[in-house]
Amino acid sequence: MNGMDPRSTADDPPASTADELLALHRAGALVGRYPDVRALLTDLPGPALARAGQWLARLDPDEVLRAHPDTPTVTVAVTGNATLGPLAAPLTGELARHGLLARTLISDFNGYLADLSDPASDVYSADPDLVLAVLDAAVVFDQVTVPWRPEDVRHAFDTTLSLLEKLVIRFGETARGALVLNTIPLPRASAAQLVDHRGRARLGAIWRAANERLLRLADVHPFVVVLDLDTLIAEGIPVTDARLAMYAKARLSPELLARYAREIGHLARHVTGRTKKVLAVDLDDTVWGGLVGEDGVEGIEVADSYRGEAFQAFQQTLRQLAAQGVLLAAVSKNDLEPVRAALREHPRITVRENDFVRVVANWRPKHENLAELATDLNVGADSVVFVDDSPYERGLVRRELSDVAVVAVDGEPAHHVERLLRDGWFDVLQLTAEDRARPARYQDELARKDFLHSFDSLNDYLNELDVRVLLARAEESEIPRISQLTLRTNQFNLTTQRLQPADVRALADHPNGYVLAVHASDRFGDNGIVGAVLAHRERTDDGAELRIDNFLLSCRVFARGIEQATLAALLRHARDIGATAVTGEYRRTAKNDKVREFYPRAGFVTVTDDGATATFRHKTTDRAEIAAPPEHVRLTVRLARTGEDQQGDDGHEQH
């Protein structure tokens, strides 16, 4: 659809939502209506969002939580070498834009040294999800006296970096969340104080080598994120507002702080398990130029012309994202045949049918197609990003499926790529092998669903599916994937404890700890690591118990007996090692209702249940009590540590 759709009613620059927010603010109703704020903020232009951020930053998070106890909260501590107070408002605004309530802790001017070195500092005491250590060039130039030469700057930057490296190590020993650093832009006002170009070039080289060292901290420490501010200022954002820098020591410009906060919003999404998973795109005038139904397969613009090359660049971006685990889908108002023909047969098209996990082309309302797509992929609508050039379609999806993030493109395809990437919807801390394989696995999954339709009963299907499960202690190389499961999984996640790789490793290394990977495969292929069990052995008065801290399963593989087989194996293992019982816990969230009965269904007895949290226990003293794994599952169990006595449960198949 093109942007000139005469039925267009809902458009993007929503002056009305800014007015509605202002009315809420003036009426003192932002706390009471907090759940509505997210939708009102969604597409506010920069200045209006900044203003709303001011209002929201002045709300008391505790008051919001009292009114709306289910609001997800993210604690963000902000420290650095300047006045960082001006970051509070954009940060609060950006997090609210994602439905997250920010609890911000802003440190004193130039407090980062004390904040990050003292394990008892306010920053560490707040147990933040994210710590932002915002640094600017003064962290270097404050140590340099006039007159200076490039070598003096090298020395000062080296000193700062050595210190930072120590602080990062201290952070790793002390804190739970992620530490966000940034590259430090070199102000021209500093470089231009050298009159010789050779000296400036030397300064530039010294400066960039130091920033490189800063960026590499993320390679060494999995909990460190280094935002490359150079890429943000390359968008045309000023680094500094001279007056704010001089008089208030607020040395990064409000525009740069707003852009920085946008990146942090997506990081906050990620650490709270809200990373988007699906990218659904319109086709006509979004992925290619023209209407395939009218212009024909040969008539659409996909390459080799001014506009064609713009669409080609967009298609390359889609493939690039899909290669990193984003599930790409097409949702187009068209007949299926010409769409298929274009994606299969057009000699110059970049994005092909097999780049998509699903191609939906019909004449139904797009929100219905998107809802169905989410169901088929077993994700929530809030995991979906939708791109369309038609204001009508965007407005309809916004109204009917408000959890879907809607990206507006328009009649100028040269802007498509930057519009799509302006928000880091798919940002993660690190990519795993599982991510790269995900689209292919989901394609298998849709094939499985079609396969399912040819069977009379689920049991016939499962027997034919030939499910194989390996339950084994996670290898070192698998730890990022286990961490990622805790971060990404929302539905089959019994306690929603989000763990960074370091947390997983700590449990794996603990003598009584269990970090178990659930591998699954079937006749359609290898599913990889689809689940995880985090547990520990604990002494009790009458011996020992196995406590399951969390049980996670990817939404792709629910209800195939994998979870029952895993639990049966754990119960048998507990009995074999002399534990008297296995205990488990369920903590309610907005999304994990379907696993509320997981433990009771497996024969566990409910010990406590206050509606929000329930605990369960299964005795293992009597052999007959333990249910056998489902018959259709071929189960292999390896729970002994490397080099340990295999205790009879290693490697054999259980039926």
Partner 1 sequence: MNSIDEFVAFVGDEVGLSVTADDIGRDLDQVDGWDSVLLLTLLSALERETGRPISLAAVLESPTLERIYTVAVGG
Q: Binding-site residue total for partner 1 (CB under 8 A)?
A: 21
Q: Is the Cβ of residue 53 or residue 308 nearer to partner 1 in the bound state? A: 53
Compute the least distance from the CB of residue 243 to partner 1, in Å. 4
Contact segment (CB under 8 A) with partner 1 among 49-57, 369-377, 515-523, 561-569 equals 49-57
Least Cβ distance, residue 191 to partner 1 (angstroms): 25
Distance between CA atoms of 443 and 235, rounded to whole angstroms? 36
Structure tokens at 107: 């440190």
* Residue with Cβ nearer partner 1 (84 or 507): 84
- Binds partner 1 by CB under 8 A, chosen from 7, 58, 348, 652: 58
CA distance to 71, 380, 620, per residue, from 596 (Å): 20, 18, 22
CB of 19 to partner 1, least distance (A): 12
CB of 353 to partner 1, least distance (A): 50
Given 33, 38, 51, 68, the residue binding partner 1 (CB under 8 A): 51
Q: What is the footprint of partner 1 within residues 71-130 (CB under 8 A)?
A: 83, 85-86, 88-89
Closest separation in Å from C-beta 46 to partner 1: 12
Q: Are 360 and 327 spatial neighbours (Cβ–Cβ below 8 Å)? A: no
Q: Does 248 bind partner 1 (CB under 8 A)?
A: yes
- Write out the two tokens for 264: 């942090």
> CB of residue 481 vs partner 1: minimum separation in angstroms?
42
**Helices marked H in 216-356:** 217-220, 229-233, 242-248, 254-271, 292-295, 306-322, 336-345
**Which one of residues 197, 198, 243, 623 is an interface residue with partner 1 (CB under 8 A)?**
243
Q: Cβ closer to partner 1: 28 or 511?
A: 28
Q: Which is nearer to partner 1, 59 or 469 (CB)?
A: 59
Among 244, 303, 313, 544, contact with partner 1 (rule: CB under 8 A) = 244
- Asked if 340 interacts with partner 1 (CB under 8 A), we say no
Maximum separation of any 2 CA atoms in the chain, in Å: 86
CB of 78 to partner 1, least distance (A): 12
Pick between residue 57 and residue 179 the one whose CB is nearest to partner 1. Answer: 57
Contacts of 494 (CB under 8 A, 6+ apart): 548, 550, 551, 552, 584, 585, 586, 587, 592, 595, 598
Residue with Cβ nearer partner 1 (50 or 203): 50
User: Distance between CA atoms of 189 and 184, rounded to whole angstroms?
Assistant: 14
Tokens representing residue 206 in the block: 């010294």
Least gap, CB of 58 to partner 1 (angstroms): 4
Distance CA 577, CA 404 (A): 48
Spatial distance between the Cα atoms of 376 and 542, rounded to a whole number of angstroms: 47
Separation between Cα atoms, residue 484 and residue 554, nearest integer Å:
11
Contacts to partner 1 from residues 9-38, by CB under 8 A: 22, 25-26, 28
Among 54, 117, 636, 654, binds partner 1 (CB under 8 A): 54
CB of residue 32 to partner 1, shortest distance in Å: 16
Any contact of residue 247 with partner 1 (CB under 8 A)?
Answer: yes
Q: Tell me whether residue 88 or residue 153 sits nearer to partner 1 (CB atom).
A: 88
Which CB atom, from 217 or from 248, has the smaller least distance to partner 1? 248
Q: How far is the CB of 183 from partner 1 (least distance, A)?
A: 24
Question: Which two three-digit tokens encode residue 494?
Answer: 């019994």
Residues 6+ positions from 602 with CB-CB distance below 8 Å: 564, 567, 568, 618, 627
Q: Which of residues 529-568 bind partner 1 (CB under 8 A)?
A: none
| Among 529, 575, 532, 569, residue whose Cα is nearest residue 551 | 532
Torsion of CA 392, 393, 398, 399, to 10 degrees: 70
Distance between CA atoms of residues 359 and 376, nearest Å: 12
Q: How far apart are CA 484 and CA 487, in angstroms?
A: 5
Token pair 């689209």 is found at: 439
Binding site for partner 1 (CB under 8 A): 22, 25-26, 28, 51, 54-58, 83, 85-86, 88-89, 243-244, 247-248, 250, 254
